[in-house]
């Protein structure tokens, strides 16, 4: 019911404020925020994604240079009898 209140962002901010005020109490040690997925500021994971994307481009270039594209084109511009269930 609570999540039907229609003011989702306000609720989020309120929860965040509560957590922040809890963290800023008597304990002066900065608390580590808990994240699932990747932490902000940590770009290690996305960097590996970017490296892989670059590797993908390299693969594409290598494949194209050794003549794979004409094979794809030839298959794609002729009706593939197997694909449609005849051949």
The footprint of another protein on residues 37-66 (CB under 8 A) is 37-40, 45-46, 48-53, 55-64, 66
24 binds another protein (CB under 8 A): no
- Tell me the CA distances in angstroms from 83 to 69, 70, 74, 75, one per residue in order: 19, 19, 14, 11
Number of amino acids touching another protein (CB under 8 A): 56
Q: How far is the CB of 66 from another protein (least distance, A)?
A: 7
Kindly provide the b/e burial profile for residues 17-50, where b requires at least 16 CB atoms within 10 angstroms of the residue's own CB: eeeeeeeeeeeeeeeeeeeeeeeeeeeeeeeeee
Residues making contact with another protein (CB under 8 A) = 2-5, 8-9, 11-12, 15-16, 19, 33-40, 45-46, 48-53, 55-64, 66-69, 71-77, 79-80, 82-87
């Amino acid at each position: 019911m609570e999540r039907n209140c229609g003011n989702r962002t306000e609720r989020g901010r309120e929860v965040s404020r509560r957590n922040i005020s809890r963290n800023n109490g008597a304990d002066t040690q900065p608390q580590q925020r808990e994240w699932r997925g990747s932490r902000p500021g940590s770009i290690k994971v996305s960097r590996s994604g970017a490296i892989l994307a670059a590797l993908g481009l390299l693969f594409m270039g290598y494949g194209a240079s050794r003549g794979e594209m004409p094979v794809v084109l030839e298959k794609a511009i002729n009706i593939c009898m197997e694909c449609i269930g005849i051949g």
